[in-house]
């Protein structure tokens, strides 16, 4: 009973912080989705780390550590490289007025803008759905009498309310609190366990058959962050919201450091469970299982940290998805153009919540949702970026990107054996874009 009370109290605390951040100026899409030139490096770092941690780092990294040992660290290494690349484009992020990826990449071409808007919105919906699922999986052991669907529906609906209330301001307020929770209730217990068990662990050599080698395809998929992070709408918004270029750069790098520490701790959790012979039917339960097994009296605190991380990614991608749908899709529709932007935000929120909930209930696999989202995002957007860099005509970019998307969807539906997808899909799109450039160059001569 005490554990349930602590979870409810923590939820109430996050909600209080979120609702206290009411943004009275958030009547426009821009003011709802950013806090331009206001945030310190630490708040920026907290936001970046909390955005990318979520269910992927806690639920998945512990599970992957359980199965594949330290191969899992390919994820934080890839994200750090992605952050370093992002640092090189800080001035670009801050100088451009667009808040969505569509605004950054589509110029004035309406078809391309709508296409990128639909694509990015779909990706944000999948990532949001993944957090719904992660939230349910984390809380399920502590509320066994409550149906998992309700564990998704009720907390997520409440989070949506404070996102409506405060927008990006509410998200940044909770980011700092959530990082504090993770530092105290995850990193300290894991650090204590390492210090008090290091000699016992060192005396038992790791059996080679405990862990499987990570498949090359999975390693490549986990490396997508190298490309995803610089193209991330959240990185664009965080860079714009920092006080200045210096705070943006330090904040991005600090976010990578915080993220890496958290993932290393989660990876260690899975490895330790495997080494101690703890069996699980569902390896995505590795994170809560570690604390219930080794810290039965205070393990709930680490679960609170996990809930905080998932919560933070959830509210961030709610804002991203709402912004993208409102700005890139609804605002371009003749009917919705008549509505005030605040009403567009509310309509978008209802759409996001409904579709993400359906996706989460259908797939119910955190890793599947995350990797599918990242694969589609990179396979289509990377060729677009290269096309823009090569000054390919927007209409040609639109046609090629649409064909690429259709080809990927057909291959996935038909379950065509293509390996590694994370390389073949984007490379195919890039090759088509190069052909488009050649076609464009040769056209005037015809």
**C-alpha to C-alpha distance for 351 and 373, rounded to whole angstroms:** 18
Q: 420 preceded by cis ω (within 30°)?
A: yes
Q: Which of 166, 225, 148, 165 is nearest to 34 (CA)?
A: 166
**C-alpha to C-alpha distance for 255 and 42, rounded to whole angstroms:** 8
Q: CB under 8 Å to 194, separation ≥6 — which residues?
A: 268
pLDDT of residue 253: 96
Q: Which of 185, 142, 138, 147 is nearest to 1 (CA)?
A: 142
Residue for token digits 């090629």? 400
**C-alpha to C-alpha distance for 400 and 404, rounded to whole angstroms:** 6
Give the CATH number of the domain where residue 250 resides.
1.20.1730.10
**C-alpha to C-alpha distance for 85 and 133, rounded to whole angstroms:** 30
Asked whether residue 391 is assigned to any structural domain, the reply reads no
End-to-end CA distance of the chain: 78
Ordered mean pLDDT values, 10 residues apiece, the chain (446 residues): 79 74 66 85 92 75 88 92 94 82 74 86 83 77 79 79 78 84 87 73 50 83 85 88 94 95 91 86 80 79 78 84 89 81 87 85 64 76 87 88 86 79 86 89 66
Task: Indicate the number of domains in the chain.
Answer: 1
Asked whether residue 48 is assigned to any structural domain, the reply reads yes
pLDDT of residue 441: 85
DSSP secondary structure letters along 388-432? HHTT--HHHHHHHHHHHHHHHHHHHHTT---TTHHHHHHHHHHHH
Asked whether residue 117 is assigned to any structural domain, the reply reads yes
CB 120 within 8 A of CB 324: yes
Asked whether residue 412 is assigned to any structural domain, the reply reads no
Asked whether residue 150 is assigned to any structural domain, the reply reads yes
**C-alpha to C-alpha distance for 107 and 149, rounded to whole angstroms:** 41
pLDDT of residue 188: 87
pLDDT of residue 140: 77
**C-alpha to C-alpha distance for 51 and 32, rounded to whole angstroms:** 17
DSSP secondary structure letters along 318-361? HHHHHHHIIIIIGGGSTTGGGS-HHHHHHHHHHHHHHHHHHHHH
Asked whether residue 399 is assigned to any structural domain, the reply reads no
pLDDT of residue 141: 74
Asked whether residue 229 is assigned to any structural domain, the reply reads yes
pLDDT of residue 243: 92
Is the overall model pTM greater than 0.85, yes or no? no
Q: Is 86 left (phi over 0), alpha (psi -120 to 50) or beta?
A: alpha
Residue 90, SS3 per DSSP: helix
**C-alpha to C-alpha distance for 358 and 371, rounded to whole angstroms:** 18
DSSP run (H or E) holding 100 = none
pLDDT of residue 157: 81
Asked whether residue 404 is assigned to any structural domain, the reply reads no
Q: Which of 132, 64, 63 is nearest to 285 (CA)?
A: 63
Q: Which range of residues forms the domain containing residue 135?
A: 2-366
The dihedral of CA 434, 437, 439, 442: what is its sign? negative
**C-alpha to C-alpha distance for 376 and 123, rounded to whole angstroms:** 8
In the structure encoding, which two tokens stand for residue 302, read together? Answer: 């680490």
Residue 39, SS3 per DSSP: strand
Phi and psi dihedrals of 198, rounded to 5? -60, -35
């Amino acid at each position: 009973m005490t554990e349930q009370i602590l979870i409810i109290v923590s939820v109430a605390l996050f909600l209080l912080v979120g609702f206290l951040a009411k943004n009275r100026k958030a009547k426009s899409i821009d003011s709802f989705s950013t806090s331009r030139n206001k945030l310190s490096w630490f708040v920026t770092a907290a936001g970046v780390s909390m955005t990318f941690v979520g269910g992927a780092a806690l639920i998945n990294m512990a599970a992957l550590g359980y199965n594949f040992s330290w191969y899992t660290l390919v994820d934080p290494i890839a994200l750090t490289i992605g952050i370093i690349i992002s640092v090189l484009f800080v001035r670009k992020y801050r100088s451009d007025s667009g808040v969505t990826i569509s605004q950054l990449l589509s110029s004035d071409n309406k078809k391309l803008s709508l296409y990128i808007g639909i694509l990015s919105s779909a990706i944000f919906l999948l990532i949001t759905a993944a957090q719904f699922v992660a939230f349910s999986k984390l809380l399920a052991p502590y509320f066994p009498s409550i149906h998992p669907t309700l564990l998704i529906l009720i907390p997520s609906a409440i989070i949506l309310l404070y996102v409506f209330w405060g927008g990006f301001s509410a998200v940044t307020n909770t980011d700092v609190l959530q990082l504090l929770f993770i530092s105290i209730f995850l990193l300290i217990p894991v650090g204590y366990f390492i210090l008090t068990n290091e000699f016992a662990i060192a005396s038992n050599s790791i059996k080679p058959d405990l862990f499987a080698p990570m498949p090359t395809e999975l390693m490549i998929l986990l490396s997508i962050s190298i490309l995803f992070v610089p193209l991330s709408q959240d990185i664009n918004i965080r860079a714009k919201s920092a006080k200045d270029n210096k705070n943006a750069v330090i904040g991005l790098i600090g976010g990578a450091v915080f993220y890496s520490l958290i993932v290393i701790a989660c990876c260690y959790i899975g490895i330790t469970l495997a080494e101690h012979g703890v069996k699980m039917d569902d390896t995505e339960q590795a994170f809560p299982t570690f604390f219930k097994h080794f810290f039965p009296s205070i393990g709930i605190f680490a679960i609170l940290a996990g809930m905080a991380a998932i919560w933070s990614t959830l509210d961030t991608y709610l804002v991203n998805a709402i912004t993208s749908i409102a700005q890139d899709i609804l605002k371009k529709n003749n009917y919705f153009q008549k509505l005030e932007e605040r009403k567009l935000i509310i309509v978008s929120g209802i759409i996001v919540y409904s579709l993400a909930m359906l996706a989460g209930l259908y797939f119910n696999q955190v890793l599947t949702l995350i990797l599918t989202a990242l694969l589609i995002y990179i396979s289509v957007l990377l060729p677009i970026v290269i096309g823009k860099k090569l000054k390919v005509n927007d209409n040609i970019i639109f046609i090629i990107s649409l064909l690429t998307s259709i080809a990927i969807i057909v291959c996935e539906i038909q379950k065509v054996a293509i390996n590694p997808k994370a390389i073949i899909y984007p490379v195919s799109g890039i090759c088509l874009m190069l052909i488009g450039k050649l076609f464009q160059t040769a056209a005037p001569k015809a």
